[in-house]
Amino acid sequence: MAKILVDTEIRKKLETIFQCRRETVSLALNCKTNSDLSKRIRKVAIDLGGSVKKEENVTVISK
């Protein structure tokens, strides 16, 4: 899944806006949860200047 990349200032703002713990914001931004609150956190994070990082697939080539 994609991730929302934000700096520490924005994370603290999100904690204040939604009156939730740092862990809740982290799980939401890393798309580990998909509740209504998580969706709102992701939307506001993007509105505040966060960027979306697409999923990366890594292929390991063995010898």
Which residues, in sequence order, are bridge partners of residue 53? 3
The whole-number average pLDDT for the span 30-45 is 95
Distance (Å, rounded) from C-alpha 3 to C-alpha 46?
11
CATH of 3-53, one of 1.10.260, 1.10.3210, 1.10.150, 1.10.3470: 1.10.260
The percent of residues above 90 in pLDDT, for the chain, comes to 81
The whole-number average pLDDT for the span 2-26 is 96
User: Two tokens at 9?
Assistant: 């200032």
**pLDDT at position 63 over 80:** no
What is the value of pTM for the model shown? 0.82
Distance (Å, rounded) from C-alpha 41 to C-alpha 21?
12
Distance (Å, rounded) from C-alpha 33 to C-alpha 17?
18
Residue 55's pLDDT band, with cuts at 50, 70 and 90, is confident
